[in-house]
Amino acid sequence: MEQNKIALVTGASRGIGAALSEELAARGWHIVAVARTLGALEELDDRIKARGGSATLAAMDVTVDDAMRHLCRDIHDRWGSVGLWVHSAIQAPPLSPAGHIAIKEWDKALAVNARATGVLIPMVAPLLAASPDKGTALFLEDPAAATRFHSCYGATKLAQMALARAWAEESVKTGPRVMIETCAPMPTALRARFHPGENRDLLTPCASEAARLADLLA
């Protein structure tokens, strides 16, 4: 396996993370797929294999520091580097006014969307740096993050984007390439939670967005 053809995808079990894992695998990347739910990862693995690709499944929670540290060490020991990191893991708390945020939801969103990103960047950065081309990290922006009733989700998502933007500025000359992209509205579980009544037939399929992102990454 070529060192620069290892793609780490955090949040790989559903939505754009799963779709992009499938698309990248079909283009020759070996996917290290991270998500909490083993059953969803196994279904992803079946779809990847059906398209001729390959994956390594890592059923773990991105908020558990030791688990992610061990995973990164295992990746280093097995392949030496990763050429791509796609960070699509997200926690979507229920919409609510800022004055009615549930502390439990705030803590979960903060842990996944903000803290885990800040912990993972220093873990993954050396793996990307060891790639022949210094690697690429992809983050996904959400314009809805700064809108009303999105305060809990929005604050933690914007914190994630602040980390990504700072890293992008810091690594312009040294690498890795840090990309921040905005996807078209897709029929994901996250969007269904925020917009339960909308016509999902009018949304852009995740597979179409995955193909577009894969073209940009290439």
Mean pLDDT check: name the lowest of 68-82, 106-120, 183-197.
Answer: 183-197
Q: What is the pLDDT of residues 132-171, one digit of tens each?
A: 999 999 999 998 888 899 999 999 999 999 999 999 999 9
Domains of the chain, with CATH numbers? 3-212 (3.40.50.720)
The C-alpha atoms of residue 144 and residue 82 are separated, in whole angstroms, by: 31
Q: What is the pLDDT of residues 9-38, one digit of tens each?
A: 999 999 999 999 999 999 999 999 999 999
Strands (E), the chain: 6-10, 30-35, 54-59, 84-87, 136-141, 177-182
Question: What average pLDDT does this structure show over 205-218?
Answer: 96
User: Residue 2's pLDDT is what?
Assistant: 54
- How open is the CA angle 208-118-91, to the nearest 5 degrees? 50
Those residues whose C-beta lies under 8 Å from the C-beta of residue 112, and which sit 6 or more positions away, are 62, 63, 89, 90, 91, 156
Average pLDDT of the chain, as a whole number: 95
Scan for tokens 């579980």, then name that residue.
189
Helices (H), 94-188: 103-109, 116-129, 151-170
